[in-house]
Amino acid sequence: MTDSQLAPEGAPPPTRRKLLTPRSLGIASAVSAAGATVALVFAMQVAVQATSSPPEPSSTPIAADSSDENAPEKSETVEPPTVIPAAYDQLSGEEVSYVRYLGAQVPEYAAGADVFGDSGLQFLSTDVADPQAYTDGQRRLFSLYYDYATNELVSMIVNVSTGTIEAIERASGSQPAPTDAETALAWELILGSELGQPIADEFAALTGGSALTPESAEVELTAHSFVTDAGSFGAESCGVERCVQVLAQIDGGAFLTTSTIVVNLSTTTVLPVS
């Protein structure tokens, strides 16, 4: 199953990609004045059930597409956009970099942990905050992060017009679609586990004996968040903890058998499910 996120400015969708190594990817998603925008953030983030298809996104967030080395969160400074878009305008890459940088300056960011266990929240996405929740016409975005230190989704409301963080909210049990960094790490964990050998054997049979590695260019990955339900067994903590399922397709053709495997990214464990 695929959680697709449309990405303005030519950025790739966050969960569909040619396979990359995890560390080459991004570290890469108080109460607002009206309170409505924060509620909107979490209402939009619907956890994907194990047996359901992921919903189509109702907005077009820019995903975590900056590498670990040049991510805005690690910059010494990022200048504000030369032109501040109007409240209803589409996202620009320039302002997304700016709000990501601003989000990394608050203490809550450094206190968190990313998917690799490093200091700093795991960036997920940025989108336009609902202009109807405000009356001043200023430009606001909301950024979503995941805190692997506490297994919480963190939302920041950022006022681009004033360069300030207006609200920070946390929620547990909410699991947006995984980013490229999370997807690639999950794939690496699968191939490094005892459950990875049958997949490698299947890949060799389908490709005439090729060896399967995390860097195999023939494999295209898609992923979705996994929340256990009454009909699935083996990953009961998923939903509280951050879990994903990975689909691996060979050159746009056959899919490898990964549907019975879930990766718990919070614990970096690979789980068989039924």
Residue 65 has a pLDDT of: 55
Q: Is the pLDDT of residue 24 over 50?
A: no
DSSP code at position 201: H
Torsion of CA 64, 65, 68, 72, to 10 degrees: -80
pLDDT average, residue stretch 261-268: 97
Percent of the chain exceeding pLDDT 90 equals 65
Calpha distance 186→125 (Å, rounded)? 19
Task: Please report which confidence band the pLDDT of residue 9 belongs to, taking 50, 70 and 90 as the band edges.
Answer: very low
Q: Which of 11, 62, 15, 12 is nearest to 178 (CA)?
A: 15
Provide the 3-class DSSP secondary structure of residue 250. strand
In b/e form, how buried is each residue of 71-108, taking b as 16+ CB within 10 angstroms?
bbbeeeebebbeebbebeeebbbebbbbbbbbbbeeeb
Q: Is the pLDDT of residue 148 over 90?
A: yes
Task: Please report which confidence band the pLDDT of residue 2 belongs to, taking 50, 70 and 90 as the band edges.
Answer: very low
Q: Is the pLDDT of residue 45 over 70?
A: no
Higher local confidence (pLDDT), 193 or 10: 193
Residue 164 has a pLDDT of: 96
pTM of the model: 0.76
Domain ranges (residues) in the chain: 24-171, 180-272
Q: Is the pLDDT of residue 22 over 70?
A: no
Q: Which CATH architecture has domain 24-171?
A: Roll (3.10)
Q: Is the pLDDT of residue 211 over 90?
A: yes
